[in-house]
Amino acid sequence: MNYLSIDLWTKRCWIAYTVEGIIFTTPWVPRFNLINNLKKIILEKKIDVIIVWMPYDLYWIDKKQLEKTKNFVNKLKQIFKQIKIDIEDERFTTYESINILNKYEKKENILDKKDSLSAFLILESYLNKIET
């Protein structure tokens, strides 16, 4: 099976996907063009499952971005009816990606790479959960 994860933001989004068990990331995608990019990747990479990050805070309290993300998930379910849509808690992925990048990247490169790595980590977390 091939999987795709989306790190959804207001203006930019980051995508990671698997092909034969290997995780790849894409450059950021403008939010207004996300659906078109998803259609292309889903077709080309034969994606079976889409995972969307859910922006919960530490105390599981709903917030504005969470509601927007839930609406987006519902939209995905309408557009991609043949594909399973799942969610993943992403509360610590940005923190984790910054910690990883601090070890290997120059400080000025971290901001450019943290969200792409977060999309990777979301997908990796999901895959680890379903394997156990």
Per-residue pLDDT reduced to its tens digit, 77-98: 999 999 999 988 777 777 788 7
Q: Largest Cα–Cα distance in the chain?
A: 42
Among candidate residues 18, 57, 12, the one with its CA nearest the CA of residue 37: 12
- pTM to 2 decimals? 0.86
Residues 50, 41: contact at Cβ < 8 Å?
A: no
Per-residue pLDDT reduced to its tens digit, 15-69: 999 998 899 999 899 999 999 999 999 999 999 999 998 877 776 665 778 888 8
Residues 7, 122: contact at Cβ < 8 Å?
A: yes
CATH superfamily to which 3-131 belongs: YqgF/RNase H-like domain (3.30.420.140)
